[in-house]
Chains A and B, each alone.
Chain A
Amino acid sequence: MNERMVQLEVLRYDPQVDDEPHFQHYEVPCKEEWVVLDALNAIKESIDPTLNYRWSCHMAVCGSCGMMINGEPRLSCHAFLRGFAGVIRVEPLAHFPIERDLVTVADDFIDKLKRVKPYLIPGEPRPIGAGEYLQTPAQLMKYRHFSMCINCMLCYAACPQYALQPLFLGPAAITLAHRYNLDSRDGGREQRQQVIATDEGVWECSFVGACSEVCPKAVDPAAALQQVKVASTLDWFREHLLPGSAT
């Protein structure tokens, strides 16, 4: 198995000690098939145990190891070292406050996620005796790929509108709202529309599309947001122009 020395420049920041973040240089012996996360683990195990970062599954499922790698939001478990030449620059996800080193404070995203009610809200109460909900393959396909989101926040780190306007609900939260709105078992669309069909909701989006480019699960949040815009526009005309349908 081939091994080579890989140079990493990792952003370090301990708010209790440092005035501002700084880069630390590491030279790590790495195997050819390693990903950036393996290199970070090697640093923590044998070079510098004080380095902080989040990770869990190492297989692009848990969504916790997102970071800026050479300026692009990537899952570090999905970024192969052989894809980079020269020094690899590793920074915490952009647009989020740093908690320590590569660990960011995700509170803003978690709060926005809660606000869009990303769970099934049945339209009418259904007794357990009525059995399970049945769904046809066609009904499933309507929302299935929007349900692949792993909440990794790469889309927030890529979104220039979120950088300009931190109140923006953002790609993943609106996409998840849309995912439940499209679900045949759900009846909570109007509740979610009150949150997402607002100036700080979907209408802050200017369809740059960076979210879809960086999404590691091909969820295509930009498409979801465009669909939300079309649906919300139809709502608006229905609510304002058709008599008796105002909500």
Chain B
Amino acid sequence: MAKSNKPVVWSLFAAGGTLAALLAPVLALLFLLAALGRAPELLGYARLHAFAANPLGKLFLLTVIALFLWHAAHRLRVALHDFGLRRDRLVAVVVYLAAGTGTALSLLYLARI
């Protein structure tokens, strides 16, 4: 039996999972504060816009968004398998296509800022 090509998607999954464990709780908290209109001055529109306009800021945002998406896609694929859905190839195509589309769209939007 040949060696698997799963390391490609697994490495994105693992990197995304590590990043999500570090960043997701604080992001959820900040989004909640912003939704309640209590965002700290640091998260004001002008400052975030400037952050997203900076090339390093763009790279950071793209990394976070893309890795979160690829992590979620792979997690969903495995979870569906565990729930008894056996159409793995179809599931894989759908979830990775979604993650790929999300990555491409973030790249597009970030490039336009």
A binding-site residues for B, Cβ under 8 Å = 160, 164, 193-195, 197-201, 203, 206, 229-230, 232-233, 235-237
Helix, strand, loop or mixed for chain B's interface? helix
B37 within 8 A of A: no
Known contacts A199-B6, A233-B11: does B1 contact A206 (CB below 8 Å)?
Answer: no
* Contact code string B1-38 (vs A, CB < 8 Å = 1, else 0): 11111111011001000000000000000000000000
Q: Is the CB of A197 within 8 A of B78?
A: no
Helix, strand, loop or mixed for chain A's interface? helix
A-B contact pairs, 14 of them (CB 8 A): A164-B81, A198-B2, A198-B4, A203-B10, A206-B82, A229-B7, A229-B14, A232-B3, A232-B7, A233-B7, A233-B10, A233-B14, A235-B3, A237-B11
**Contact with B1, one of A160, A164, A199, A229 (Cβ below 8 angstroms):** A199
A68 nearest CB across to chain B (Å)? 21
Residue numbers in A under 8 Å from B6 (CB-CB): 199, 203
**Contact with B4, one of A160, A164, A203, A230 (Cβ below 8 angstroms):** A203
B81 nearest CB across to chain A (Å)? 7
Residue numbers in B under 8 Å from A193 (CB-CB): 3
B13 nearest CB across to chain A (Å)? 10
Q: Is the CB of A236 within 8 A of B81?
A: no
In the bound complex, CA of A201 to CA of B7 (Å) = 13
Q: Is the CB of B4 within 8 A of A199?
A: yes
B binding-site residues for A, Cβ under 8 Å = 1-8, 10-11, 14, 78, 81-82
Known contacts A160-B82, A164-B81, A206-B81: does B1 contact A198 (CB below 8 Å)?
Answer: yes
In the complex, what residue of chain A is closest to B3 when comparing beta carbons? A197
Residue numbers in A under 8 Å from B3 (CB-CB): 193-194, 197-198, 232, 235-236
Can you add 17 more A-B contacts, CB < 8 Å, to A160-B82, A203-B4, A233-B7?
A: A164-B81, A194-B1, A195-B1, A199-B1, A199-B4, A199-B6, A203-B6, A203-B10, A206-B81, A229-B7, A229-B10, A229-B14, A232-B4, A233-B14, A235-B3, A235-B7, A236-B3
**Contact with B78, one of A194, A206, A229 (Cβ below 8 angstroms):** A206
A227 nearest CB across to chain B (Å)? 12
Residue numbers in A under 8 Å from B11 (CB-CB): 233, 237
B45 nearest CB across to chain A (Å)? 40
B5 nearest CB across to chain A (Å)? 7
B20 nearest CB across to chain A (Å)? 15
Residue numbers in A under 8 Å from B78 (CB-CB): 206
Known contacts A198-B2, A199-B1: does B7 contact A236 (CB below 8 Å)?
Answer: yes
Q: Is the CB of B4 within 8 A of A197?
A: yes
In the bound complex, CA of A237 to CA of B4 (Å) = 12
Q: Is the CB of B2 within 8 A of A236?
A: no
In the bound complex, CA of A40 to CA of B7 (Å) = 47
In the bound complex, CA of A235 to CA of B11 (Å) = 12
Residue numbers in B under 8 Å from A236 (CB-CB): 3, 5, 7-8
In the bound complex, CA of A200 to CA of B6 (Å) = 11
Residue numbers in A under 8 Å from B8 (CB-CB): 236
